[in-house]
Amino acid sequence: MIIILGYSLITITNSSTVLGYFDAGQCTCEYIKEQGACHPNFCNWNVNTNECTKKVCSDIKQSFCLISPDKFKCIWNFFENRCESFTKCSDYVFPIENGNLCYTLVKCQADINSIDYSNEKIRCMDKEIHAQYAISNCEKVPLYHCNWLVTPDGKQCIKNTLTNTCDGKVVKLCSDFSTSELCNPYACYWQDQCKQKTCSSLTQKECIYYESLDSKQFTFCNWNGTSCIDLDVKTLTMEQCWPYTYSSYYWNSETKICEYCEREDYANLMSKLLLFGALILFQTLQ
């Protein structure tokens, strides 16, 4: 008996590309073997060694530092206006009103239980769940930050304007949001009612990606000249592969196709599972 085990948060169905939050942006400059694919805003091309290498954080401009892949470990310091190396989530403390800056770091969230009203500070912490806008609970979230955060038990933080509180609600569909103010702009859009985003619903300026309602997945999109369509990575060129997928795919110079960069922990897990499966097969055949 052979048991095959595996799990991945990447799916490519009907020519669409969907990535889990922790599975996006896993490529580094070292994956790239051709100068034309070496992204100049994040990487340097060494003409002597023909290698693509990562730029130091201080050399990355603000607009690109803000969207730099997590693997680069670069963050933008809004108070000193510079791109710098990330250390760890708990090292960062912000004024409570700027607690949303925790989400600009590398897989961090605001530690809602660390709020210190005596000095108006909040500390950041590691993500509790694989979601872009994770938070421990909604009840302690200041009303001005009560914007579609997601708790470990699957609730979303919704402003209650009657009680002026931040309430945790189970939201399964965009149509569950009753007003345009409550309609989650990352996954939904308002058109007489709150509707689920699709690539075709996005304008040319918006045509990059949209998120799932729980902020755990991204669906990538591409502008075809007249409308926004689902991104099909198989159609991307060498120059498009990296930037169109937010460094989630790289150009394989041997196969000449755009290929996905797996998370290191996932790759290690799969190696162990394959080894485990091989051992079971070996024992079965004895």
What is the per-residue pLDDT across 239-278, written as a single tens digit (0 to 9) for each?
A: 999 999 999 999 999 999 999 998 665 444 333 333 434 3
d(CA 101, CA 109): 9
Q: What is the pLDDT of residue 15?
A: 61
Q: What does the pLDDT look like over 93-129, one tens digit per residue? A: 999 999 999 999 999 999 999 999 999 999 999 999 9
* For residue 282, pLDDT beyond 70: no
In this prediction, residue 262 carries a pLDDT of 86
Question: Which pLDDT belongs to residue 265?
Answer: 52
Q: Where are the domains of the chain?
A: 10-285
Instruction: Check residue 263 and give its pLDDT.
Output: 67
